Amino acid sequence: MQVGRWNHQSSDKKSHESSHGGERSYSSRSPQRSGFGGRSGGYMGGGQRPFGRPGAGGNRGRAPARRRGGFGSFGETEAEIAKFMNRTVVTTEEPVFVPEHKFSDFDINPHLKKNIEARKYELPTPIQDKAIPHALLGQDVVGLAETGTGKTAAFLIPLIDKVMKQKGDRILIMAPTRELAVQIEKELAGFAKGLGFRGMVAVGGANIGPQISQLRHNPAFVIGTPGRLKDLMERRALDLSGFGTVVLDEADRMLDMGFIDDMRMILGKMNKERHTLFFSATMSREIEKLIGDFLSSPVVISVKTRDTSKNIDQDVVRIPRGKDKFEVLAELLKDREFSRVLVFGRTKFGVEKLAKALSRLHIHAESIHGNKTHGARIRALEAFKAGKVSVLVATDVAARGLDIPAVSHVINYDLPSTYEDYIHRIGRTGRASLKGRALTFVQERY
């Protein structure tokens, strides 16, 4: 765990270490069906180009390069495949984190403390323990932490207190996806219950009219995706001059999704004298530059200890050439051990097709991708969280920030674009103290 002041001149490339473990090989007893399996890495068969514009299903806008798992995939070489294998064999006891504070220790509004207690929060996580005191002092903070470590509460708690103490102060929170924005607003509603102020969500895929109406009431918290926030600003429905604080949550994902210009425009419209909280799971050169341009002597807090949770058992499923990986997936999902499964695909078209194919086999599945409306995506996510469906098939829009309880398995049906995408995908399982499993489908070429 490290806490320090930001030095824009220092940048170290991140290295990834991998542990090796066993692997399983599956083959399908059924002949290959048209439209699924094959060597394309999706399930389109015959090496067809995915539907949609370049970059639309996680391709990041790069030119499609033919690789083992599809277009621009991570998992081309055996060295890369080895990073998908990491058995959770514990050989030594890891030191137990002992926080310096309890939530009751923080100098925050008494009613807010009661709401925190009502939510059964007692001891802060490492990122909460280190970030909250600095945020309460009004210092700019850069928080680097693995997914699932409580980053949302790390910024919401001090900012709710700030709104209570500094009447009229308003908070802007930027998030990469609609689902994460909605999740943050739900967390806000729980912590701020009965405190007399409101928050609102401004995201694409939903009717902009009600969002404009909500903004007329000057909500204390505006939580949105960069594209929709920019749209509201251009319509003069959102004026940032009254916002003294901004949070950039999952900043690395927003960069990956091509929001850098929107982020810079939005930050550029805010007062230079502002309070900025910046949370990210990774630190790239682009992230460093953004921090250097928009944050003032921030406190840098890093609680990253490893790329993946020690609770995740990682393995590969090798699909022999000519075998149908859809049949392998369906066979796996019929096992009762696979109780709540998140399946990742590369394209919006492919994800939707896969979910429908599983449903036809009476495997209760829903889908989340960029072509679905905001309401449909939220309904699918809530059904999965509630256990009404056992399988959620998603593009990488579901890979970051979402807190889905008790995901038993993450399956990379299509290979991720990068190792970082892989890390964030499998971070949906093995959360808190629960164990999880991550399986990655790798199709053999020979």
Cα distances from 428 to residues 295, 423, 435, in angstroms, run 30, 9, 11
Domain ranges of the chain: 18-90+310-443, 103-302
- State which fold the 18-90+310-443 domain adopts: Rossmann fold (3.40.50)
Tally of CB atoms within 10 A around 241? 9
Total length of the chain: 446
- Do the domains spanning 18-90+310-443 and 103-302 agree at the CATH topology level? yes
Output the pLDDT for position 6. Answer: 58
pLDDT at 313 over 70: yes
Output the pLDDT for position 417. Answer: 85
* 94 confidence band (pLDDT: 50, 70, 90): very low
Alpha helices in 166-304 (DSSP H): 178-191, 208-215, 226-234, 251-256, 260-268, 285-294
3-state SS, residue 291: helix
Q: Cα torsion at 41, 44, 49, 50 (round to 10°)?
A: -90
Order of all β-strands in the sheet with 436-443: 24-25, 312-319, 436-443, 409-412, 341-344, 391-394, 365-368
In degrees, to the nearest 5, what angle opens at C-alpha 112 toward C-alphas 171 and 158?
Answer: 40
* 64 confidence band (pLDDT: 50, 70, 90): very low
Cα distances from 251 to residues 172, 271, 425, in angstroms, run 14, 20, 16
- The single residue listed with the structure tokens 């308003």 is 170
Q: Which residue has the higher pLDDT, 255 or 390?
A: 390
What's the chain's average pLDDT?
80
The stretch 254-273 carries a mean pLDDT of: 88
Q: Which residues contact 378 (CB under 8 A, 6 or more apart)?
A: 178, 179, 182
Q: CATH assignment of 103-302?
A: 3.40.50.300
Output the pLDDT for position 155. Answer: 97
The stretch 222-240 carries a mean pLDDT of: 96
Q: Which residue has the higher pLDDT, 305 or 41?
A: 305
Cα distances from 364 to residues 89, 108, 139, 334, 399, in angstroms, run 32, 45, 47, 11, 21
pLDDT, tens digit, 9 for 90 and up, residues 380-395? 988 998 889 999 999 9
pLDDT at 93 over 60: no
Report the predicted TM-score, pTM, of the whole model to 2 decimal places. 0.64
Output the pLDDT for position 5. Answer: 60
Q: Greatest CA separation found in the chain?
A: 67
* 435 confidence band (pLDDT: 50, 70, 90): confident
* 79 confidence band (pLDDT: 50, 70, 90): confident
Considering only CA atoms, which of 24, 76, 88, 151 is closest in space to residue 309?
88
pLDDT, tens digit, 9 for 90 and up, residues 194-218? 999 889 999 998 899 999 999 999 9
Output the pLDDT for position 411. Answer: 95
